Structure formats: structure tokens, C-alpha cells
Amino acid sequence: MALKSLDPVFAHPSESEFAQILDFYGVDWEYEPRSFPTEWDGERVIEMFTPDFYLPQMDLYIELTTLKQSLVTKKNRKLRRIRELNPDINIRLLYRRDFHRLLAKFGFGPLASSETPMLESVMFGTGQIAERTAALGREISVDYADKKPILVGVLRGVFCFMADLMRQVSVPMAVDFMSISHYENDDLGVRITKDLDVDLGGRHVLIVEDIVDTGMTLNFLIDYLQAKNPASVEVCTLLDKRARRLTDTNLKYVGFEIADEFVVGYGLDYMEEYRNLPFIGILRPDAGEAANGAQK
Ligand code: IMP
């Protein structure tokens, strides 16, 4: 969102649309925050260039261009000049076609009808997920110093979170994955389709989950893993949909508590789609009708 307190007055509607997209993604932005001198007459600056946006999280300046090719060429020349004069600056020209494609992803613009995804909004942006995951990793590293924990993930939704979380754990650890499936027409029945490869006897087990919803899957897993005589079993989940909980399960580490909404992205799917979104988004209600029945 805008880092300045007042919403800026945009020079062009495309800039306002671009700002909305950045907000949707949870990306911070500043509008025209800085002017770069490009030409001098002696000491006097006679020409400046002001890029449209600065994205501090990416340390990137963006100039939008939805204009004629002749103007694009002129802008490109200016950008090259800025790069020559300020080699440490990241600056990019976003062309009309890039811009339309980006708009379409969010349901705006000329390509929209063919490319609109079934998403309502972003719940947690890439930066928020990374920040929270790093904090969880720090807590786990403190709690499990000298314990050499084994992180156990349940495929497939957890693979993004596990990959990021384990790289934030700074103490020796191991990782393994299981795969389960739910029996059809039976919400409570769970079957293991891939078991762990390591022996858990005497080990400190940390179950890593993408999302805990009713808690039934986790309940089953904890019982199953306890039977292998580990030293301890605890749970770390990125998302906790507590409002839907049917079981009384203690979650030691929780990334975010969320309301009863069906979410996708960052490994989470709706009928195997959307796992590749870099953020966690809320599925549009019309897409979500069938979602409550979706399983891993
Ligand atoms: P539980 O047994 O009801 O806690 O369900 C856990 C599993 O259901 C998760 O590991 C997910 O695979 C799936 N699930 C529950 N809610 C969502 C959601 O909002 N988006 C995607 N998958 C979900």
C-alpha cells in the first residue's frame, strides 16, 4: 500500500490501476518519490526524470509505459542514462503488454475475461509470509537447540512452507514427509499412502502443517506418530482455521490464525490448482462452493 499517508493524485489512470495491483499483492509502493537528474548545463540541472513508482521491498523503480513506441524509445534512453549515472539503481520500464497481462491476472483490462483467476483478494503477501516464517524459525531454533528435531511434513500442501521454514531453522535438524489420503465418503477416515523413511524412536518430532482446519487429519497423525515412541511430538502450522476446529489439539507454533475462508496459494490448492501462487489468497465464493469438500 502507499507508504505516504495521503493517496497520491495519479497523472494517468494506468498508474492508479497499477497501484491497486500492488495493494492486492501486499507490495508497498511510493509514487514518484525521487527525481533523477539526467542532463546538466555546467552545475545547473536542465533535465530530470521521475520514475512513476518505487517498491521498497524490491528496491525497484518502475516506469509505466502505455504510450506510443516513439515515447517508449525516449523513455528507454532516459532509463539507460539513469542507470549509467546511478549503477546501483534498479529501474524497469513496464511495457503496455506486460501491464495488460498483469491487469488481466486481477480481472482488469482488455485481456481480463480470458485470464481472470477465481481469487477474491490476497490474505497474506509474500513479504508477510516470509517475515512470519522467519519468526517461527527463530522460535523453533531456540526451543530445539541440542534436540536435533525431525520436521515431518504432510504432502502436498506443506512443501512451500516446509522449504522456507527449514531454511530459517539454525540448529541441526532432519526432515521427512508423509502422504495421506482421505477415504471417499468418510470425512474421518485417513489412510497413509507414503510413510516416513526414518525411525522416530527417541526423536523430537515437529509436525509441520500448511493449514489446520477441523483438526481431524492432525489428530490422526499425532496418534500415529506417538505410537512410534518419539521423545516428543509438537505441531507447527502456517495457518490455523480455529473457527472450524472439531478436535482439541495443541498447536505449539502458529503462523497466522485465519477466519473460515477457503484459501489457496503458497502450496495450498483448490482441486490441484493455485499451488504456485507466491501469496495466500482467498478463493472467490463462486469458486469456493465445492471447496469445502476438497482434500489434500
Ligand atoms: P483438517 O483435517 O480438516 O484439519 O484438514 C486439513 C487439510 O484440509 C489441510 O491439510 C488441507 O489440505 C485441507 N484444507 C483445509 N482448509 C483448506 C483451505 O482453506 N485451503 C486449502 N486446503 C485446505
Q: What is the CATH number of the domain that holds 209?
A: 3.40.50.2020
Q: Check whether residue 256 and residue 180 sit in a common domain.
A: yes
Q: Is 237 in the pocket of ligand 1 (CB under 6 A)?
A: no
Kindly name the residue from 213, 240, 248, 286 that is annotated as catalytic: 213
CA distance 162 to 209: 8
Tell me whether residue 213 is one of the annotated catalytic residues.
Answer: yes
Total-model pTM = 0.66
Considering all CA atoms of the chain, what is the largest pairwise distance in Å, rounded to the nearest integer?
A: 80
The CATH number linked to 107 is 3.40.960
Q: Is 213 in the pocket of ligand 1 (CB under 6 A)?
A: yes
Q: Check whether residue 96 and residue 185 sit in a common domain.
A: no
Q: Which cell goes with 288?
A: 469456493
Q: Check whether residue 152 and residue 177 sit in a common domain.
A: yes
Cα R_g (the chain), whole angstroms: 24
Last residue of a domain, one of 63, 78, 111: 111
Q: Is 211 in the pocket of ligand 1 (CB under 6 A)?
A: yes
Q: Does 166 have pLDDT greater than 70?
A: yes
How far from 295 is each of 89, 156, 180, 269, CA to CA, in Å? Answer: 46, 10, 10, 9
Q: How far is the CA of 205 from the centre of ligand 1 (A)?
A: 21
Q: Is 121 inside any structural domain? A: no
Q: Check whether residue 132 and residue 195 sit in a common domain.
A: yes
Q: Is 145 inside any structural domain? A: yes
263-282: average pLDDT: 89
pLDDT in tens, 136-158: 999 999 999 999 999 999 999 99
Pocket test for ligand 1, best of 268, 280, 283 (most atoms within 8 A of CB): 268
Q: How far is the CA of 212 from the centre of ligand 1 (A)?
A: 6
At 75, the amino acid letter reads: K
- The domain of 243 spans 126-291
68-84: average pLDDT: 86
Q: How much is the pLDDT for 2?
A: 58
Q: Is 201 inside any structural domain? A: yes
Last residue of a domain, one of 85, 111, 137: 111
CB 264 within 8 A of CB 123: no
Domain count for the chain, please give it: 2
Q: Does 237 have pLDDT greater than 60?
A: yes
Residue with cell 523453533: 140
